[in-house]
Amino acid sequence: MSNNFNLKNYIDLLNKRDLVETDQLQLLAYGALVERQISYNRKEEYFSLIKEYLAKKINPSTFRGKFLKMQKQDDDTAQIMKEDFEQLSNFSIDLELEEGPFSLLIDLIYDNSMLAVEFGPEDGISEDEFKVSIENAVSNSKFFD
């Protein structure tokens, strides 16, 4: 079900002086994988927040604020972890995580939240479109069955 993080390859990439494009992409992929796993480790918190929003217990602005705060916390944790090789040596990645329903759901909510926050309903995404996008993503996700 899980796979240990390839620490040796990650360190080798960090220590390279001249990274070719494929090395740069691989290094970015390692970072993204750590960030996704950290979010995945909190999936129940994310699901609880999504359910609150869809049940209209919190408004869209509050939902986006809480969601983006969680994402920032996850990013901060990932940044610290990527620099702590001892923690990374024990870090495991869920094999179902990559391009799985959870990652796709979180990516969609993040993208649409940023559209709403940065551009507002006229140039970004309306509140109705925002809610429908989340409802559709949730209905297509195996996590909410």
Query: For residue range 89-139, what is the model confidence (pLDDT) as tens digits?
Result: 777 777 666 657 888 889 999 999 999 888 877 787 888 999 998 998 888
Whether 144 has a pLDDT exceeding 70, the answer reads no
Residue 114 exposure: Cα atoms within 13 Å on the Cβ side: 7
**Lowest mean per-residue pLDDT among 9-13, 47-51, 96-100, 103-107:** 96-100
The pLDDT of residue 53: 96
The pLDDT of residue 1: 45
Are the CB atoms for 74 and 36 separated by under 8 Å?
no
Query: For residue 24, how far is the Cα from the chain centroid?
Result: 20
Strand partners, 93: 3
CA-CA distance, 140 to 66, in Å (whole number)?
23
Cα separations in angstroms, 60 against 64, 71, 116, 130: 6, 16, 10, 8
Tokens for 90? 């024990």
Task: Give me the long-range contacts of 124-128 (CB less than 8 A, separation at least 24).
Answer: 127/60
Whether 74 has a pLDDT exceeding 90, the answer reads yes
Whether 68 has a pLDDT exceeding 70, the answer reads yes
**Cβ neighbours of residue 71 closer than 8 Å, sequence gap 6 or more:** 39, 106, 110
The pLDDT of residue 99: 59
Please tell me which residue, 59 or 28, carries the higher pLDDT value.
59
How long is the chain?
A: 145
Report the chain's C-alpha Rg in angstroms: 17
Structure letter (DSSP) for residue 85:
H
If you average pLDDT over every residue of the chain, what do you get?
85
Average pLDDT over residues 54-67: 95
CA-CA distance, 134 to 25, in Å (whole number)?
30
For the entire predicted model, the pTM comes to: 0.82
